[in-house]
Structure 1
Amino acid sequence: MSRLTHDRYCDEIIARTDALRATIRGADLTATVPTCPDWTLRELVLHVGRAHRWVGEIMRTRATEAVPFEQVPESAPGSDDAAALDAWLEEGATRTAEALRAAGPDEKVWSWAWERGTGFWARRMAHETIVHHADAALTTGTGYEVAPELAADTIEEWLEIVAFARAAGDERAAGLTGAGRSIHLHATDAPDAEWLIEFGEDGFAWSHGHEKATVALRGPLTDVMLVFNRRLAPDSGRVEVLGDAELLDFWLERAAFG
């Protein structure tokens, strides 16, 4: 599957932020987020909004070095009420999407990753918002939907991040080895949405295709994405795990970054 366009990622930053805003409207902002148990729902939203504004500042200044968070303007809402939080979240997403769109996909700027440019940040902020919207929806017990091409790209970006984390020396990701073992991700509702992750002595690699594997994670694409991003438990009943379930658990425990 190919990456989406720069404009699409910019559009999705706003669209997914709007979906997040709708999810938290009227919700208990002090509720603990089950998928991020160190955060309340309010802290989750603050994290998303600050990430948007941080990237917006990188775009505004065309930063070639890391921008300290304390240098980001308006990094918190003007007051504690829900309306202020909503307006602050909307404004940050809109400004960042506009700055990314104005810069285009090929401007060279600092990033923490393998790709140094505006295209990386547009994709990263779209998926950051997609996944944290899922956190909010799971907290509030509300519906959650994402377009198939976005769900598929979220999986691919996470594979790239985990591979980068392993190469950068992340202790958990370093354990993702073991020749002769493999994981098959199989979406039942989207053509060609299948991935094969194969472990080797020096790491792992992935490809597209329908292949027999040590363990298969099978179900609707959005649910496969949520399990793969550790937002939905494999035994939730919304997906099937066929084969060596311990290998999938092995991946989920070690596929991390930060």
Structure 2
Amino acid sequence: MGKLSYERHCAEITNQAALLVSALDGADLGVQVPSCPDWTVNQLVRHVGFALRWADEMIREKLPEVDMSRNLAVDVSTYVNEQASVLGPWIEESAASLASALEAVDPDEMIATLAGHPGPRLWSRRMAQETVIHRWDAVTALGVPFEVDPEVAADNLTEWAAFALPLSFFRWPAETAGLVGPGNTVHLHATDVDCEVVLDLTAPRPAMREGHEKAAVAVRGPVTDLMLAVYRRRPVDGLEVFGDRDLLDRLLASVRF
């Protein structure tokens, strides 16, 4: 476990959007989101929807590379006092359109590429997991319980290790440089599903391996809790930690996404 199929990623884009919408009905969407303090819930939903539409546009137009200038998800400050009756259909339409665009192309077609990776395969996974994490942000702000399929959470954890971790090292080299050193490895071990990830920080470019091996620090717990911990949505407290806790704390403090 740890990586879903392309078809499952496409399906989860619409599934996660629908689950997000189900939490909005009758809620005050003007409340602040504690985990994304610059946004209210309706602004968070706009962020997710615009991200979906950005990926959709790049796939449909078969852009050769990612075009950051088209991403409207960065600044959503002007969206205020919106209602679920408007936002719900809008984000579900955004998700359905992206899923259909992805289903119409070869997963490994070299369009909307990022760092040399085929765009359809990368963006199907990225947008599915983007919606998972921001669904947690929204429902937590609204006081609604959060649940996610362990298979999806395991895929999220490995996607974070394979994509978010190296991207953070690239974007914030000064903050992450101190994490690199001989023997600096982190083992993330899910206790409820077959998912184990090793983060290798021994070289300037971090690497990820799946499987069980000894590391400088190991973290054990339910896969959803591990997912939320690496995304800094919950503290490590309550998880089992063995070894170099300082390395773990510095990693989580430095890697944001």
TM-score, with length taken from structure 1: 0.86
Shift of 1:196: 2.3
Other-structure match for 1:13: 13
**Are the counterparts in 2 of residues 21 and 86 from structure 1 also a CA contact under 8 Å?**
yes
1:166 aligns with one of 164, 169, 177: 169
Does the alignment pair 1:22 with 2:22? Answer: yes
Other-structure match for 1:40: 40
- Between the aligned partners of 2:173 and 2:256, the Cα distance in structure 1 is 8
Q: Deviations over 1:120-152 (max 9, x none)?
A: 111111111111111112212222222222212
Residues 245 and 26 (structure 1), Cα distance of their counterparts in 2 relative to 1, 3 Å cut: farther
- Between the aligned partners of 1:119 and 1:70, the Cα distance in structure 2 is 19
For 2:248, the aligned partner's letter is: L
Helix, strand or coil at the partner of 2:249: helix
Residues 70 and 194 (structure 1), Cα distance of their counterparts in 2 relative to 1, 3 Å cut: closer
Shift of 1:114: 4.0
Other-structure match for 2:256: 256
Question: Matches of residues 39-188 of structure 1 in structure 2 within 5 Å?
Answer: 39-65=39-65, 66=67, 68-69=69-70, 80-161=82-163, 162-167=165-170, 170-188=173-191
- Between the aligned partners of 1:2 and 1:41, the Cα distance in structure 2 is 30
Q: Which runs of 5+ in 2 are unaligned?
A: none
For 2:183, the aligned partner's letter is: G
Helix, strand or coil at the partner of 1:200: coil
- Between the aligned partners of 1:150 and 1:70, the Cα distance in structure 2 is 25
Other-structure match for 1:242: 242
Shift of 1:92: 0.7
The number of residues matched between the two structures is 251
Helix, strand or coil at the partner of 1:39: strand
Sequence identity (%) = 41
**Are the counterparts in 2 of residues 175 and 254 from structure 1 also a CA contact under 8 Å?**
no
For 1:150, the aligned partner's letter is: V
- Between the aligned partners of 1:70 and 1:119, the Cα distance in structure 2 is 19
Q: Which runs of 5+ in 1 are unaligned?
A: none
For 1:8, the aligned partner's letter is: R
- Between the aligned partners of 1:244 and 1:14, the Cα distance in structure 2 is 40
- Between the aligned partners of 1:59 and 1:48, the Cα distance in structure 2 is 17
**Are the counterparts in 2 of residues 176 and 203 from structure 1 also a CA contact under 8 Å?**
no
Shift of 1:15: 0.3
Other-structure match for 2:199: 197
Other-structure match for 2:232: 230
Helix, strand or coil at the partner of 1:103: coil
For 1:68, the aligned partner's letter is: S
For 2:196, the aligned partner's letter is: E
Residues 2 and 151 (structure 1), Cα distance of their counterparts in 2 relative to 1, 3 Å cut: closer
For 1:118, the aligned partner's letter is: P
Residues 96 and 209 (structure 1), Cα distance of their counterparts in 2 relative to 1, 3 Å cut: closer
Shift of 1:217: 1.6
- Between the aligned partners of 1:151 and 1:86, the Cα distance in structure 2 is 24
- Between the aligned partners of 1:197 and 1:55, the Cα distance in structure 2 is 28
Shift of 1:220: 0.7
- Between the aligned partners of 1:229 and 1:17, the Cα distance in structure 2 is 19
Q: Deviations over 1:41-71 (max 9, x none)?
A: 1111110000011111112211124163378
Helix, strand or coil at the partner of 2:180: coil
CA RMSD after TM alignment: 2.5
Residues 7 and 203 (structure 1), Cα distance of their counterparts in 2 relative to 1, 3 Å cut: closer
- Between the aligned partners of 2:43 and 2:107, the Cα distance in structure 1 is 30
**Are the counterparts in 2 of residues 109 and 116 from structure 1 also a CA contact under 8 Å?**
yes
Residues 146 and 180 (structure 1), Cα distance of their counterparts in 2 relative to 1, 3 Å cut: same
